[in-house]
Structure 1
Amino acid sequence: MICRILLSLGSCVFGSFVVNVTQTSYQAEENHNITLEWTFTVETGRSPTYLNIYCDLVTDDKSSLLYRVHNGAEVSESQDEKFSGRVQSDKDALREGRIRLQLCRLGTEDSGQYRCEVNTDYGSRSASCRLNVTAATDQRSTSPPQEERKDWKIIIIVLTAGALLLALLCCAFYLGSC
């Protein structure tokens, strides 16, 4: 009974604090950039005495830190090496309760579930989204090599000359029979 009362009291106190992901699923291509976004409740007229944010990529075998804020300050030293220099955050958006992270130069190994946990003095929650990065499509031309094109040009010239010669012979034959 006491547990139920504490649980319902906890949901009243922390029930108003919410972390949401803007999109639950993202699709991108290798070597492109993407912006992942979460929102969290900001109490009006009150800024948190502390703000801690922990965003990571969770794959089958491990967790890799993407972004971290400790007591309102960004901590890049603890970022996983694979994200070093590839993550940019919108610091102004934090005041509005938005976490906007641009991930640059995507690779297929960036695919997975991205989780963002937000802790403040008035609540703690997390939300996740999925990112699927596909291999870059081959942008090379499907036209034949230069030498093959030269061969076709020669064939077309020979056929055109032959057709012209045939037309001249037909005209000469026609005029000679008149």
Structure 2
Amino acid sequence: MIVSFLLIVPVTLCAPEKHHKKAQTYEVEENHNVTVEWCFSSRVDVSVASLKIHCLLTPELKVFYHLDQSVKEPQHQQFSGRVHCDVDALGAGRVRLHLSRARTEDSGQYLCRMSTGFGRKVNEFWLNVTAAADRLKPVLPPPQPSGRHRIFLCLCLVLPVAAVVVLVSRLCCSSDSP
């Protein structure tokens, strides 16, 4: 925890630079995967052994990702086993972190401090995890009418037909009589 505090102080002091760019926002639905990515160097010969990356979820100071051979700091249990770094991208000057099975509590502001043998950089991004959409409800057939409704429906259909039949038969019978 002390290491987190000591690392976050320079991050917060460096964050409000004059040429501060707008923080990237990533949106993902709960239980889906998301990849956060940014460039930290224009050099393509970055030695991964010389690279230090420390990413925190603020303001709780939960360690999201940590890469440093000299300092041992465990990842916060909230992210344990769910954050993976693309090492090939690091050698090309890019940080690419994959977060699997995003949770709503992963939402928030993240600050990352990167350091190499030729410079330092601070990156900030926001992650917004929305609740998973309700599962589609199965389509049910329309409810069948109850017994009373069936009787009423039959009477409404049968009575007019019966009345027409009686009327036609009386007309036919009355026209046959002299």
TM bracket (short chain): 0.5 to 0.7
Tell me which of 99, 105, 109 is aligned to 2:101.
105
C-alpha spacing 1:22/1:93, structure 2 compared with 1 (3 Å): farther
Q: Which amino acid in structure 2 is aligned with residue 31 of structure 1?
A: N
Provide the residue aligned with 1:166 in structure 2.
159
Q: Report the TM-score, using the length of structure 2 for normalisation.
A: 0.68
1:30 maps to 30
Percent of residue pairs bearing the same amino acid type? 34
What is the CA distance between 1:165 and its match in structure 2?
Answer: 0.9
Q: Is the 8 A contact 2:46 2:92 kept in 1?
A: no
5+ unaligned residues in a row in structure 1: which ranges? 1-19
* Residue of 84, 91, 105 corresponding to 1:88: 84
Aligned equivalents of 2:168 and 2:34: distance in 1? 74
* 1:57 partner amino acid: L
Question: For the residues of structure 2 that align with 1:122 and 1:155, how far apart are their CA atoms?
Answer: 85
Please give the per-residue CA displacement for 1:142-177, whole angstroms capped at 9, x wherever unaligned: 978x9x924x46566445433331242133133223
Output the amino acid matched with 1:113: Q
Distance 2:133 2:154 in 1: 42
Deviations along 1:62-92, whole A, 9 cap, x unmatched? 2111112225x9x7x7111111111122221
| Cα deviation, residue 28, structure 1 | 2.3
CA RMSD of aligned residues (A): 3.3
SS in 2 for 1:83: coil
Q: 2:170 aligns with which of 157, 160, 177?
A: 177
1:70 matched residue in structure 2: 68
After the TM superposition, which residues 1-178 of structure 1 pair with which residues of structure 2 at under 5 Å, given as runs?
Answer: 24-44=24-44, 46-48=45-47, 50-59=50-59, 62-71=60-69, 78-139=74-135, 141=137, 149-150=143-144, 152=145, 157-178=150-171
Would the aligned equivalents of 1:21 and 1:129 in 2 still touch at CA under 8 Å?
A: no
Change (3 A) 1:93 1:47: closer
SS in 1 for 2:105: helix
SS of 2:101's equivalent?
coil
Report the CA distance between 1:112 and its aligned residue.
0.8
Following superposition, the deviation at residue 33 of structure 1 comes to 1.9
The CA deviation at 1:137 is: 3.1
Against the structure 1 CA distance between its residues 105 and 170, is the aligned structure 2 distance closer, same or farther, given a 3 Å change threshold?
Answer: same
Residue identity in the other structure for 1:149 = P
Following TM superposition, where does structure 1 have runs of at least 4 consecutive aligned residues deviating by more than 6 angstroms?
A: 20-23
Would the aligned equivalents of 2:46 and 2:93 in 1 still touch at CA under 8 Å? Answer: no
Amino acid at match of 2:85: S
